Amino acid sequence: MEITRKEENGVVFIAISGRLDADSSPEADKVVKEVLEGPTDRLLFDLGQLEYLSSAGLRVLLSAAKEMKRRGGKLVLCSLNAFVKEIFEVSGFQSLIDITDSVEAGVAKLA
């Protein structure tokens, strides 16, 4: 798994690629927590290069979504591949977290 972050116009972008599973989710969780220590209230996850997501990975994203909700912010997941999208559908998480097809649509959603 690779995780990178940047901030542009008040939006924090977190890109996660590869496999987000039980082995890699502690590292992702650490990065997300670091971001959430800041005052950010708009968070975009670019999952375009994410190949696999396990329930441990879902927990990382869920924790971030809960925190953003708590602070009245917005969070969006973008560019999920078909496999990852299906995980969100089957697990019912798509009703808890906003998902868009592209990063551009995600940015628009956060505006």
Partner 1 sequence: MATNTADGESILLVDDNPTNLQVLYQCLEGVGCKLLIAKNGEMAISIAAKALPDLILLDIMMPGIDGYEVCRRLKSDPKTADIPVIFLSALGETGDKVKGLQLGAVDYITKPFQPDEVIARVNTHLTIHRLKQEIEQRKDELEHELEVVSAVQRRLLPKQLPVIGGFQLAVRYETSRYAGGDYYDLIGLADNCWGFLMADAEGHSTPAAVLMAMTCALFRAYPKAASDPAQVLHYLNEHLCKVADPSFITALYAVYDAGRQTVKVARAGHPLPMIYHAAEKKAEELACPGVFPMGIEPYEDPIPVAEAQLQPGDRLLLYTDGLTERFNEPGEAYGEQRLLQQLGTDVGDDPQEVLAAIIDDVQRFAGAHPADDDQALLLGIVS
Task: Determine the Cα–Cα distance for residues 15 and 77; give it in Å rounded to an integer.
Answer: 10
State which residue, 56 or 105, has the beta carbon closest to partner 1: 56
State which residue, 11 or 75, has the beta carbon closest to partner 1: 75
State which residue, 32 or 103, has the beta carbon closest to partner 1: 32
Beta carbon of residue 10, minimum distance to partner 1 (angstroms, whole number):
26
Contact 20, 1 (CB under 8 A): yes
Residues that bind partner 1 (CB under 8 A): 19, 21-22, 52, 54-56, 58-59, 62-63, 66, 90-93, 95-96
Separation in Å, CA 55 to CA 32, 70, 91: 16, 22, 9
Contact 97, 77 (CB under 8 A): yes
Beta carbon of residue 47, minimum distance to partner 1 (angstroms, whole number):
18
Backbone torsions φ then ψ of 99, nearest 5 degrees: -130, 135
Beta carbon of residue 96, minimum distance to partner 1 (angstroms, whole number):
5
